[in-house]
Amino acid sequence: MKVMLHEMSWIEAEEYFKENEITILPVGSNEKHGPQNPLETDHLITKAVAEETARRTGVLCLQVIPFGVSSHHKQFWGTIYISHKTFKNYVKATCLALN
């Protein structure tokens, strides 16, 4: 059984959503984690945990949102941050798009 939405056809997605209302929406950020780690550390970990949770539970998992509210790291090159309002609206719009 597929548990990743982006791996499904629209027909498989329709079948899932006819029977289920729950999805996992992993969220990470693109920010510094010391000079030795990649900027994608947060969303790599979040993605791995979310996908394993989906496999173990059968709950559908969406693709990770790789950016977050990280303005406190803005002094480090490569940090991508968005405002609280934009982030909230994006997450809400993503969830509502599933209806």
CA distances from 58 to 8, 23, 28, 39, 83 (A): 14, 10, 22, 30, 33
Stated pTM of the model: 0.87
* pLDDT above 70: percentage of residues in the chain: 100
Whether 39 contacts 70, CB under 8 Å: no
Domains and CATH numbers, the chain: 5-96 (3.40.50.10310)
Q: Tens digits of per-residue pLDDT, 4-26? A: 999 999 999 999 999 999 999 99
